[in-house]
Structure 1
Amino acid sequence: MIKLHGFSASNYYNVPKLALLEKGIPFEEVLSYSGAGPKYKPEYLDKSPLGKVPALETPEGFISESRAILDYIERSYPTPALLPDTPFHIAKVQELAQFIELYFELVARRLIPSLLLGTKPDPTALKEVEKGLEKAVTALPKLSSFETFAYGDQFTLADIAAILNLPIVRNVGKAFLGGDPLTQVPNLDAYCARMEERPHVKKVRADAAANRPDFMAHLKALYGL
C-alpha cells in the first residue's frame, strides 16, 4: 500500500490526498511535519530533500512535490481519470491548476505567517499581495466560467487546485484586505459551495480541522512562541 507522508492541516498535503480519495486508491497516512533543521526529523530528508510535505512512499521509492505526486497517481491509477482525454484539454486543466497555485496561493501565502500568529503584515508585502491578487482575480474568468466544474464537465485536477488553494486567498482577504476578493469572480461562490458538498472534500476539511491544534502546538514548540 502506498503511504502519504505529511499532515492534514497542509493544503499541499491535501492536494494528493484528495486525488487519492477521489480515485478510491487505498493509502496510509503517516504524520510528519515539514522542515530540515536540527529540531525536525532529519530522516525525513531521505523522503523529501528539502524537508517539505507531502512525500509519497511507493513500492519503488519516495516522490516529493505535489505536482510530481499527482502525475504518478494519474499514470499509475488512470481510472477514474482526473484529467480529460485529449492533449489540449489536459493542458488547459494543468494551465488552470498552475494559475491558481502560482498567482493566488503563492501570492496570498506571503501573509500566512501573520494570519497564523495574529500579527500585522509588512505594509510593503501587503500592498504587493493586494496588487497581485487583483490581477489574478481579473484574469481568472478567462480560464474558467465555474458553471459546473473548474474546467469542462468532469471533476479534474483543476478542481483540486481550486478547492484547496482558493480558501487561503479568502482567509487572507478577509483578514487583511477588507474582504474576500474572490467574490468578484462570476459563479465562483456557487461553485465553491457545490464542491464543499463532495464527500471527500468534507473528509479533507474535517481531517484538517482535527489536525490544526496539533500543528499549531508543533509551531509553538518549534519557534518558542
Structure 2
Amino acid sequence: MLKLHGFSASNYYNVPKLALLEKGIEFEEVLSYTGVGPKYKPEYLDKSPMGKVPALETDEGFISESRAILDYIERAYPEPSLLPASPFDIAKVQELSQFIELYFELVARRLIPNLLTGSTPDPVVLKEVESSLDKAAAALPKLSTFEQFAYGDQFTLADIAAILNLPIVRNVGKAFLDRDPLSDVPGLDAYCARMEERPHVKKVRADAAADRRQFMAHLKALYGF
C-alpha cells in the first residue's frame, strides 16, 4: 500500500492527498512534520532529501516533491484520469497549475512566517507581494473562466492546484492587505464555493483544521514561536 508522509496542515501534502482521494486509491497517512535536523527526525532525509513534505512511499522506494508525486500517481493509476485527453489540453492544465503555484502560492508564502507568528511584515516585502499578487490576479482570467472546473469539463490537477493554493492568497491578503486579492477574478468565488462542496475537499479541509493545533505546537517546541 502507498504511504503518504507529511501532515494535514500542509497544502503541499494535501496536493497528492487530494489526488489519491479523488482517484479512489488506497493509501496510508504517516504523520511527519517539517523541521528535519539533529533535533528532529534526521532520518526523514532518506525519504525526502531536502526534508520537505510530502514524501510518497511506494514498493519501489520514496518519491519527494508534490509535482513528481502527482506524475507518479497519474501514470501508475491512470483511471480515473486527472488530466484531459489531448496533449494540448494536458499542457494547458499543467500551465494553469504551475501559474497558480509560481505566481500565487510562492509569492504569498513569503508572508506565511508573519501569518504564523502574528508579526508585522517588512514593508518592502509586503509591497512586492501585493504588486505580484495583483499582477497575477489580472492575468489569471486569460487561463481560466472558472465556469465549471479550473480547465475544461472535468476535475483535473488544475483544480487541485486552485483548491489548495488560492486560499493561502486570500488569507495573506485579508491579514496584511485588508482585502482579498482574488475578489475581482471573474467566476472564481462561485467556482471555489462549488469545489468546497466536493466530499474529498471537505475531508482535506477537516483534516487540516484538526491538525493545525498540533502543528503549531510542533513549531513552538522546535523553533520557539
In the other structure, the counterpart of 1:100 is: 100
> Quick one: distance in 2 between partners of 1:208 and 1:224?
22
Q: Which residue of 2 aligns with 1:194?
A: 194
1:28 and 2:38 matched: no
Does 1:72 pair with 2:98?
no
1:224 shift after superposition = 2.0
Q: Does 1:165 align with 2:161?
A: no
> Does the 8 Å CA contact 2:6/2:31 hold for their aligned counterparts?
yes
Residue in 1 that maps onto 2:48: 48
For 1:69 and 1:223, how far apart are their aligned partners in 2?
29
Contact 2:35–2:222 (CA<8 Å) still a contact in 1? no
| CA–CA separation in structure 1 for the residues paired with 2:38 and 2:166 | 33
Structure 2 unpaired stretches of 5+: none
| Aligned counterpart, 2:18 | 18
Q: Does 2:117 match 1:117?
A: yes
**How far has the Cα of 1:35 moved from its partner?**
2.8
1:122-174 CA-to-partner distances (Å, cap 9, x unmatched) read 11110000010011000000000000000000000000000000000000000
**Number of residue pairs the alignment of both structures matches:** 225
**CA deviation vs aligned residue, 1:165-205 (integer Å, no higher than 9, x gap):** 00000000000011101011000000000000000000000
Distance of 1:195 and 1:95 partners within structure 2: 20
Residue aligned with 1:94, SS: helix
Q: TM-score, normalised by structure 1?
A: 0.99
The equivalences for 1:123-142 within 5 A come to 123-142=123-142
Compute the displacement of 1:3 (Å): 0.1
Which residue of structure 2 aligns with residue 206 of structure 1?
206
1:204-224 per-residue CA deviation (whole Å, 9 max, x = no partner) reads: 000000000000000000012
Q: Give the match's secondary structure for 1:181.
A: coil
Q: TM-score, normalised by structure 2?
A: 0.99
Q: Equivalents in 1 of 2:179, 2:49: separation in Å?
A: 38
> % of aligned pairs identical?
84
Which residue matches 2:223?
Answer: 223
Question: How far is the alpha carbon of 1:51 from its aligned partner?
Answer: 0.2
Q: Structure 1 residue 36: deviation in Å?
A: 2.8
Deviation >4 Å, runs of 4+: none
Range moving further from structure 2, 28-37 or 105-114:
28-37
Report the AA paired with residue 194 of structure 1: R
Query: Match of 1:43, SS?
Result: helix
> Is the CA contact 1:163–1:195 (under 8 Å) kept in the aligned structure 2?
yes
**Contact preservation (8 Å) 1:35, 1:50:** no
Residue matched to 1:90: 90
Return the letter of the residue paired with 2:160. Answer: I
The separation in 2 between residues aligned to 1:197 and 1:119, in whole angstroms, is 33
Residues 8 and 211 in structure 1, CA contact (< 8 A), matched pair in contact too: yes
Contact persistence 1:74–1:82 (CA under 8 A): yes
The unaligned stretches of length 5 or more in structure 1 are none
* Equivalent residue letter for 1:183: S
Task: Write the letter of the residue equivalent to 1:68.
Answer: A
Contact between 1:2 and 1:28, CA under 8 Å: does it hold in 2?
Answer: yes
For 1:71-96, what per-residue CA distance to the aligned partner results, in whole angstroms no more than 9, with x for missing partners? Answer: 00000000100000111000000000
- Specify the SS of the correspondent of 1:110: helix
